[in-house]
């Protein structure tokens, strides 16, 4: 090999460098992001492997092979019910995050759908909650038990609806959290907790007035 004038194409070198395990993980993440989290990492890896880890070809293959056979459910984010944007929470505090969502499609959701954590800050150990199958245009509230980080600052995480087969669908749902020492948990949540506690207290029956 000595004395040979080897001129390696930088683009070729870049392609070879994408074959490492770390780079495969990067490609999977990028593929998932470009598809708007419609596919789980295992599904992304399948299409990337099938196209020799060529991102553009894998995306083409996904739409060629999958799209005609997929009936994607529809979901629209309606509003934050608890912990709206701008509300502050003290560090290391348990809270319940509730979103209002709607089946904005013409068909009922399939059984076994769930809301899954997909990126950003997770706020605790819960990364998935099951959601009942909503009828067309039906609205429901979905809640996740969370815990605020120990350090003050602004935090955000993303969640998405997912079918039992791993297909992500609908709007990306955000958690935007302001953690402040001395911060107040959302007034709506405090009142709701108080009301629940109050309503579970035993009530004395009043004697009917003659």
CATH label of the domain that carries residue 134: 2.60.40.10
One domain, residues 58 and 132: no
The secondary structure element, H or E, covering residue 129 is strand 128-130
Residue 52 lies in a domain: yes
pLDDT tens by residue, 23-73? 888 888 887 887 777 778 888 888 888 888 888 778 777 777 665 555 789
What is the three-class DSSP state of 68? helix
Range of the domain at 24: 17-66
For residue range 61-114, what is the model confidence (pLDDT) as tens digits?
777 766 555 578 999 999 999 887 667 899 999 999 999 999 999 999 988 899
Q: Is 194 contained in some domain?
A: no
Residue 181, exposed/middle/buried by CB under 10 A (0-12, 13-18, 19+)?
A: exposed
Both 37 and 127 in one domain: the answer is: no
| Residues 162 and 61 both lie in one domain | no
Give the DSSP letter of residue 69.
G
Three-state secondary structure call for residue 128? strand
Residues 6+ positions from 51 with CB-CB distance below 8 Å: 57, 58, 60, 61
pTM assigned to the model: 0.58
Shared domain for 29 and 118, answered yes or no, is: no
């Amino acid at each position: 090999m000595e004395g040979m004038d080897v001129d390696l194409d930088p683009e070729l070198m870049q392609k070879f460098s994408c074959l490492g395990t770390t780079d495969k993980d990067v490609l999977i993440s990028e593929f998932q992001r470009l598809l708007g989290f419609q596919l789980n990492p295992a599904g992304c890896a399948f299409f990337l492997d099938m196209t020799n880890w060529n991102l553009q070809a894998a995306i083409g293959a996904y739409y060629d092979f999958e799209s005609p056979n997929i009936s994607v459910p529809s979901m629209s984010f309606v509003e934050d019910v608890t912990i709206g944007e701008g509300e502050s929470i003290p560090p290391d505090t348990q809270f319940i995050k509730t979103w209002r969502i709607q089946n904005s499609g013409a068909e009922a959701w399939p059984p076994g759908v769930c809301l899954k954590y997909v990126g950003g800050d997770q706020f605790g150990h819960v990364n998935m909650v099951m959601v009942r199958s909503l009828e067309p245009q039906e609205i429901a509230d979905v809640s996740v038990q969370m815990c605020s980080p120990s350090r003050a600052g602004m935090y955000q995480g993303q969640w998405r609806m997912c079918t039992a087969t791993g297909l992500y669908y609908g709007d990306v749902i955000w958690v935007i959290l302001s953690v402040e020492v001395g911060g107040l948990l959302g007034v709506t949540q405090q009142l709701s907790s108080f009301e629940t506690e109050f309503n579970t207290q035993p009530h004395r029956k009043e004697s009917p007035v003659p």
